[in-house]
Amino acid sequence: MSTKRWSLRRVVLGIFIGSVVLIAGTDDQAAQAQQAADVQQRIQLAPTERDAIRREMRTMERSLNLVLHGLTDGNFQMVEKAARTSGKAIAIGPQLEKKLPSEYAALDQRVHVRFEQLADATKGGTIQGDVVPRLAAITGYCVACHDMFRVDETR
């Protein structure tokens, strides 16, 4: 058997094994995600309070989208403005915070601080430090919160 043919077989075998591992890992991840969803703490809020939480989340989602567009275009002023929009100024107010679990309120405060830090890192149209880890930290707080909590409307 030629060396070329042997190398090709090893590559094909490697791709096959990698695919099997990837597929098996995906099923495991799906099962873990399902289990995580089953253990969410339900937070009961009045409709207006629930809507306020959802508005805050949508604002952060829009900010993340604009940050990514700004980074793609090299428009760091856009990045700063988008990040600042989801900074401490839009954090939940003290009245609503009293109705939330302390872990939720802590995550909320941390994510808004991270948005402020991202805005500061791009202040003046330049980047100071690596933005990707900052975005990873922000989205990590989002994932953690959605894994831990579910906001429901009281009936």
40-153 is classed in which CATH architecture? Up-down Bundle (1.20)
Q: For residue range 73-129, what is the model confidence (pLDDT) as tens digits?
A: 999 999 999 999 999 999 999 999 999 999 999 999 999 999 999 999 998 877 877
pLDDT digits (tens, 9 = 90+) for 29-88: 555 555 554 689 999 999 999 999 999 999 999 999 999 999 999 999 999 999 999 999
Using CA atoms, how far apart are residues 53 and 57, in angstroms rounded to an integer? 6
The 3-state DSSP class for residue 42 equals: strand
- The answer to whether 82 and 63 have CB atoms below 8 angstroms apart is yes
Please state the pTM of the whole predicted model.
Answer: 0.73
